[in-house]
Amino acid sequence: MAVQTVGIIGAGQMGNGIAHVFALAGFDVLMNDISRDALDRALSQIEKNLDRQVSRDKISADEKKAALDRIKTTLTLSDLGQTDLVIEAATERETVKQAIFEDLVPHLKPNTILTSNTSSISITRLASRTDRPEKFMGFHFMNPVPIMQLVELIRGIATDQATYETLHAVVEKLGKTAASAEDFPAFIVNRILMPMINEAVYTLYEGVGNVKSIDESMKLGANHPMGPLELADFIGLDTCLAIMNVLHDGLADTKYRPCPLLTKYVEAGWLGRKTGRGFYDYRGETPVPTR
């Protein structure tokens, strides 16, 4: 199955990053969102990120222009039905994702491959709500998409080999590396990463260390490029909590119980960088720990 046209649902941080790398790799991209403002912001962000690559001699000015010319936008979900590959990159809530796929399915070409950029939700369950579970896969990019080299490929129980091989070839064309994961809660990266972040929040919650000492300990003591609380703010505390809940519910093991302090921050609307406050306060010139 040849893929040339790609539909992307969601123009947020992940969606615009995915659009960026596909357009740069020569694919024709149609990006959808429910908000015209979100689409305009996404195009502006993509151009800004491409300019950064030009300034660092990663790409040429001509490659930047060609990539931008390949990206089109639409507010109409059904317009994506004629693409070869659809990547859903909406919010990490299963009900939202299911509703999107149910609305889109009647408009799809027979051979269109459906994928979700979900970081934790069951691919088999999402696929079962469509008319093509054999052509459905998890296609999980890492954030920020233009920089991170890994893409997790997750087969549902019904995914056929041709779909897997097609997406593996797409990842290679993007210049990234594919890691194959089985369809169990949170797959590989977040199955390992999120409990570490959750444990860092417990360490803060129990008073073992403050925000600064926890992050510095992991950066200087384990050579992590970012501390776990700083990373949680970058990912979004609501996303971290959602993934921990998926792990806790899906595996029924108390070791995945979300820290009450993480829940409290989300309840307060302190979701990290995107809201200006999380484990750090980002409203000044430099981030300041909130605990």
Confidence of residue 95 (pLDDT cuts 50, 70, 90): very high
The question of whether 190 is a catalytic residue gets the answer: yes
What is the number of alpha carbons within 13 Å of residue 271 lying toward its C-beta? Answer: 11
Q: Tell me which DSSP letter residue 165 carries.
A: H
Q: What is the pLDDT of residues 118-153, one digit of tens each?
A: 988 999 999 999 999 999 999 999 999 999 999 999
pLDDT of residue 136: 98
Query: Active-site residue among 16, 116, 122, 190?
Result: 190
The question of whether 248 is a catalytic residue gets the answer: no
| 99 marked among binding-site residues | no
pLDDT of residue 91: 87
- pTM, full prediction: 0.90
Q: What is the pLDDT of residues 215-261, one digit of tens each?
A: 999 999 999 999 999 999 999 999 999 999 999 999 999 999 999 99
The average pLDDT across 260-270 equals: 98
| Distance (Å) of CA 29 to CA 15, 45, 101, 258 | 11, 15, 18, 37
| 264 marked among binding-site residues | no
Closest CA relative to residue 68, chosen from 14, 31, 113, 13:
31
Q: What is the pLDDT of residues 31-56, one digit of tens each?
A: 999 999 999 999 999 999 999 999 99
| 1 marked among binding-site residues | no
User: For residues 187 and 199, what is the distance between their CA atoms, to the nearest angstrom?
Assistant: 19
